[in-house]
Chains A and B, each alone.
Chain A
């Protein structure tokens, strides 16, 4: 029995060590190129035709401002609002713009029961409508479809940046994802108790830090592996690339809860390259509420788990290198590793706790004789991959932040990441139940809604 326990302890310790070391190594490998990155040249936006697609469901409160923003900043672009049978005044707001005679604004209406079947379906409708509107003689290589959330604010330079020679100026490049930032970073909620203001503000800060440092660094490293992935907001895709994966039914977006990542998988396995840029960005609203944040991340986790079904496609593709396929496997394995980690990591701790209860003096002697050093070393290696993003955020994104505060951000980010252990289990539960219905991530001022996928 003791021998079996020793083997179990040895195994779990080694597995924990391997997973931690792999993660530390990975983080150190991605942070260096991120810190070395310098802005690239821009291109001529007029070389392309731009179509902003804005999926909306009950977005009456924000869509008017978004249309105004897009038309003011990108006068050459078309704006396609896809209404998913909203119950609020979304259509009325868009109709008012249409009545104003702006020929660059378009409304794509969906009606139940065909509506509310998922964001991917809404985007597919928009894709088919844009194709019809453009006509047979248009040039799909020059047309770029830009997916923006209803509250999204693409930076004013985004078309010039994406038109650069190293991005859409390269005909082999099918899609570009731009950096995502939180528009309400540093903005506190009003009308809530002080502790909710403080927590909400910290949560938004962590989302900003996550997208602008860790996720951006991961995306840059994917430039080496050839596996840059797409996000749902600030996603630019060449129309001819969408055509190539749309199939006979005209559906480039598929049915998973992570339809953006799934689109990237299909583009990459069809032979397209994908790009990422921090030279421009899209602003979106960070979530103040922990419950809404956990719901959003559970959806992402479930979507990642669903995308495991593309593993064979990824590894069979001749267009992806083994390094690229391994990177995608690593990404898709993340929620599963979190599940495994939540089972494995506590075992040595529980066994130690058991020994401490059975023979406390022995454990205390062991601890003070040097085991504390082990705890310190492993604790440091467990914390370092998260902690370093605080100072990195200060260096690249928020130079006004003090070093001490940036370290606090790093600690906060470590805690923030631990929420993924919760969301991965929630995602697994939903997956096992076959539950693909989903509560749309609510805006900070919204009530909840349910969509089906």
Chain B
């Protein structure tokens, strides 16, 4: 196909295809990671709840314990109001990371030269999603300690948790797009 464009300076052909083996490996790895998030979802949640236990223990509340095989973190042990929070498939960040991995894989497959940039963006956005989810858990614990189990859990798990998820998710998406598409 003969194409010319006298109105603008063209640097060679507009169609430049890259055959980049490492990028194909990256695409397969990202798709594999996506599948792993579904198949090994329980292991991911165990890791997530362990991280929540570590952070809770680090910032203060006494009586924190993690039962990873039940994907549950307990806090307030020894007090009058001990509570366990279970990381269910509906609460995990795994399925928020998954679409980012698939989109990232598609972008790398379509434009291999941006592999590094997309991987950086994926890393940043995935960290943001995980941090947001941990923040949600910590906020929930804070509200339970502040307002009591009934009221604190009620508002923490419904309204605040949802808002954190929505705004955190939006921030992660914007971060991903900004980092992955910068010139």
Contact = CB atoms under 8 A, between A and B. Distances in A.
B6 A244 contact: yes
Interface string B153-183: 0110111001101100110011001001111
Contact of B90 (A6, A313, A316, A317): A6
A315 B110 contact: yes
A288 to B, nearest CB: 38
A17 B5 contact: no
Contacts of B166: 17, 21, 24, 377, 381
Given A326-B177, A369-B154, A10 B7 contact: no
Given A6-B88, A15-B99, A373 B158 contact: yes
Contacts of A312: 110
Interface in B1-43: 1-8, 10-12, 14-17, 38, 41
Contacts of B17: 316
A10 B180 CA distance: 27
A171 interface: yes
- State which size class the interface on B falls in: 35 or more
Contact of B88 (A10, A22, A248, A369): A10
B90 A323 contact: no
A247 B2 contact: yes
B131 to A, nearest CB: 16
B55 interface: no
B169 A11 contact: no
A7 to B, nearest CB: 5
B158 A22 contact: no
A371 B154 CA distance: 9
Contact of A377 (B111, B163, B177): B163
B5 A270 contact: yes
Contact of A18 (B3, B7, B99, B110): B99
A172 interface: yes
Contacts of A171: 7-8
A323 B117 CA distance: 12
A7 B7 CA distance: 55
A115 interface: no
A293 B135 CA distance: 47
Query: A interface, by DSSP: helix, strand, loop or mixed?
Result: helix
Nearest to B177: A326
A270 B6 CA distance: 10
B90 A9 contact: yes
A174 B95 contact: no
Contacts of B117: 322
B66 to A, nearest CB: 20
Given A25-B174, A322-B114, A378-B162, A141 B95 contact: no
A322 B107 contact: yes
B154 A21 contact: no
Nearest to B97: A14
A241 interface: yes
Interface string A270-287: 111100000000000000
Given A7-B38, A322-B181, A313 B15 contact: yes
A124 interface: no
Contacts of A316: 14-17, 111
A374 interface: yes
Interface string A306-334: 00000111011111011101100100000
A193 interface: no
A325 B11 contact: no
B168 to A, nearest CB: 9
B108 to A, nearest CB: 10
Given A174-B7, A272-B8, A325 B14 contact: no
Interface in A202-242: 238, 240-241
Nearest to B41: A7
A240 B41 CA distance: 56
Given A322-B107, A374-B162, A381-B166, A10 B89 contact: yes
Interface string B137-164: 0000000000000000011011100110
Contacts of A323: 177, 181-182
A101 interface: no
Interface string B90-105: 1110111011000000
A13 interface: yes
Contacts of B96: 14, 17-18
Interface in B47-69: none
A381 B165 CA distance: 12
B41 A318 contact: no
Nearest to B165: A17
A21 B168 CA distance: 10
Nearest to A369: B154
Contacts of A17: 96, 165-166, 169
A374 B14 contact: no
Given A240-B6, A272-B7, 7 more contacts: A141-B6, A240-B7, A269-B14, A269-B15, A271-B10, A272-B8, A374-B162
Interface of A: 6-7, 9-11, 13-15, 17-18, 21-22, 24-25, 141, 171-174, 238, 240-241, 243-245, 247-248, 269-273, 311-313, 315-319, 321-323, 325-326, 329, 369-371, 373-374, 377-378, 381
Interface of B: 1-8, 10-12, 14-17, 38, 41, 88-92, 94-96, 98-99, 106-107, 110-111, 114, 117, 154-155, 157-159, 162-163, 165-166, 169-170, 173-174, 177, 180-183
12 contacts: A11-B89, A11-B98, A18-B173, A21-B170, A269-B15, A271-B7, A272-B5, A272-B8, A316-B15, A319-B14, A322-B180, A377-B158
Across the A-B interface, the 4 shortest Cβ-Cβ residue pairs: A10-B89, A14-B95, A315-B110, A323-B181
